[in-house]
Chains A and B, each alone.
Chain A
């Protein structure tokens, strides 16, 4: 008897709270799908951060924007809340395809974002076209994602030419000429090696590039590193993702290649301090790396809201994965507001013609441009360097671009 009363009371409070809190009409919530790696062989750490960002996006849309079609829009529909639905793609093509289908057919998601692994996203991209549901790459970098000109696929993450331009600009500023590049044999690694090579040719830079491709599953890269060491390059570009990125640093250190020769890593894995310093200890000092975010970068009002809210909710500093995933959720909501529609096909059309505010810039667009710039908007990149053990990335000096520069590259000493 007593149990019944308690249960009934809980039910009443719960429904009351939901009703009172939302004040929404009868319209069912709009579902935003998050398809991201939450188990191996994907990178579940990245997936977690992306899900957190999506949760922030949901909170922002429902709390600050008043849902989609909210009071600040001129849409005739009643304001409607959004809900995120999460699917695990394990970083694998087959699970990605299955997850995408489930999000659209069972959850009725009007848009999907959250991709981290390029091969997983590329597998589901044709499905996005077939179902006519917009699919935004939150952190998958392969050129083909946009270069194949899928009608429904968009990206808010830097592409290979952006990275190549950033590090070649930095290398030129340092007056270095001899570059060694060690890349894993994935779409990402090979694509970045190609992009770097073609940009050197295109800009007729006075540089030589020695690109070595290795199998992503190898644990021992000593032979490749010995070969690079024998050629005495000015800088080594580290194009490993996850474990290989760490192995390159460790093993280059073992054979006396790093930090004697500078090394620049192609993405922002060193921003996870618990992992980076635990794994490498003092070996990790002097590494330079590309990052998509640094607290010195000027955030938009949106970005500021997200980083403050993130600190409140998760008791740590927001990183790029959080912010970009948050941004993708908000972009989808903005597109719905601009089109006054929750129809996925009209959202796609609006993404192509609208201008959107993101966490890091205003007026982001996704035009039908040529090549890899199709449906592509690139956030800015910075190059940072760690110069002492246990440094966190927000303390690290920005070496590049010159406009944001807060320190010069320091050789090991």
Chain B
């Protein structure tokens, strides 16, 4: 095997893996706080892409994509908070017995709603803003400028996210809610507010991935479908509820997909991820860092 080519594949895998991480971290974050799986994650990714595209195309211009990014991320976060407040809060207000089923039905309905809304509003076309930056030479690999920006952006956002969760009061509250809702309530933490913010932040991570990748993977109504699948693949690999697991799982998936393509055959690229997943499930059913057992 040609060493240069191998390095190229590994680099390409890491770049894409960093972006997978954003999705996975968003999913696992919402899960750990609200104990629900947000199946509409990919649609928030899709909306992030559209908002970014519209901001660049109609308002800020292609040179000021970096101004559009925070706006797109905040916009998706705000939408997430509205969704949480209007559709998901009733879950925790009592009166609904099967929380898991309720959350699943609501978020799956949202995927259908958002996809069809995107078709109605923007048409079935595919959009793509201009590349954020010219190609960058990363060692032996010419990396597309937008991909490089997306990689840096993903790394920065994950760093910021980790800092907020580990070092701030808000992060402390989030962690307490994730570990014991009643315990957090006893301390006087406003759970409905934390839930709303957590959902907003979780989907904003997906929106960020969508906005960062808008020039790379195109923006269209179904663009979120795959990212949801990848996100869940990583969650299973890394373990549901583990942020570290999401990050390692994302990078691992990117690497395995990329290296499998060159070492075995590129025809089955998406199968390698599932292979890894099955292997890990067989060896460690809770994922690499999954919760062993839930606290009573």
Contact = CB atoms under 8 A, between A and B. Distances in A.
Determine whether A and B are in direct contact in the complex, meaning some CB atoms lie less than 8 angstroms apart.
yes
Interface of A: 39-41, 43-45, 185, 212-215, 217-220, 222-224, 226-227, 230, 242-243, 246-247, 250-251, 254-256, 274-275, 278-281
A379 to B, nearest CB: 25
A45 B267 contact: no
Contacts of B270: 215, 217-218
12 contacts: A40-B222, A214-B267, A215-B268, A217-B226, A219-B217, A223-B261, A226-B9, A227-B262, A246-B126, A247-B217, A254-B147, A279-B126
A246 B218 contact: yes
B128 interface: yes
B142 A256 contact: yes
B267 A212 contact: yes
Contacts of B176: none
B36 interface: no
Contacts of A215: 268-271
A255 B268 CA distance: 21
B47 to A, nearest CB: 15
Nearest to A215: B270
A36 to B, nearest CB: 12
A243 B49 CA distance: 15
A45 B5 contact: no
Nearest to B123: A45
Nearest to B147: A254
Nearest to A223: B261
Interface residues of B, number: 43
Contacts of A242: 126
Nearest to A217: B226
Contacts of B262: 223, 226-227
B143 to A, nearest CB: 8
Contacts of A280: 128
A255 B142 contact: yes
For the residues of B in contact with A, the DSSP-based class is: helix
A164 B123 CA distance: 32
B193 to A, nearest CB: 35
Contact of B221 (A40, A223, A251, A274): A40
Nearest to B2: A230
Contacts of A247: 217-218
Interface in B107-148: 115-116, 119, 123-128, 130, 135, 142-144, 147
B186 to A, nearest CB: 45
Contacts of A246: 126, 128, 218
Interface in B160-178: none
B225 interface: yes
A315 to B, nearest CB: 17
Contacts of B9: 223, 226
A226 B143 CA distance: 12
A278 B125 CA distance: 10
B2 A279 contact: no
Contacts of A214: 266-267, 269
A250 B145 CA distance: 12
A29 B222 CA distance: 39
